[in-house]
Amino acid sequence: MPPEKLDAALIFAPAGELVPIALRAVDRGGIVVCGGIHMSDIPSFPYSILWEERALVSVANLTRLDAQEFMEVFAQTRVKTDVRFFPLKEANSALTALRDGSITGASVLLVD
């Protein structure tokens, strides 16, 4: 999960199982957009992750080119991502950093 709730999430992958995860990641009033032409079935999820005015919508006919163009425009924005990588053998250090709040973005464990 992101360090703080998102305003929106855009799912390009055709994987329905990502929908409940994305709904949990967005804040009240947030929106989850399913951007693919095809998607596997969305699994059942508790109403509580849709509640509080969250919205789930699909976009008709979004192509791979549309996604690439979106990412090019997005790259020009001021949004900055912060990812910190840890070798698997330093998993305890990663957990400590998460607990003490010294990680401001995402942490990734690298498997050798």
Per-residue pLDDT 10s for the chain (112 aa) are: 889 999 999 898 889 999 999 999 999 999 999 987 788 999 999 999 999 999 999 987 777 788 889 889 888 888 777 888 999 999 999 999 988 988 877 788 998 7
Give the helix/strand (H/E) hosting 22.
helix 18-25
The predicted pLDDT at position 91 comes to 93
What are 87's strand-pairing partners?
A: 110
Q: Quick one: pLDDT at residue 49?
A: 93
Q: Which fold has domain 1-79?
A: Rossmann fold (3.40.50)
In contact, 40 and 14? CB cutoff 8 Å? yes
At 4-17, the pLDDT tens digits run 999 999 898 889 99
**Surface-to-core class of residue 23, CB atoms within 10 Å of its CB (0-12 exposed, 13-18 middle, 19+ buried):** buried
Please say whether the beta carbons of 112 and 87 come within 8 A. yes
Q: Which amino acid is at 83?
A: V
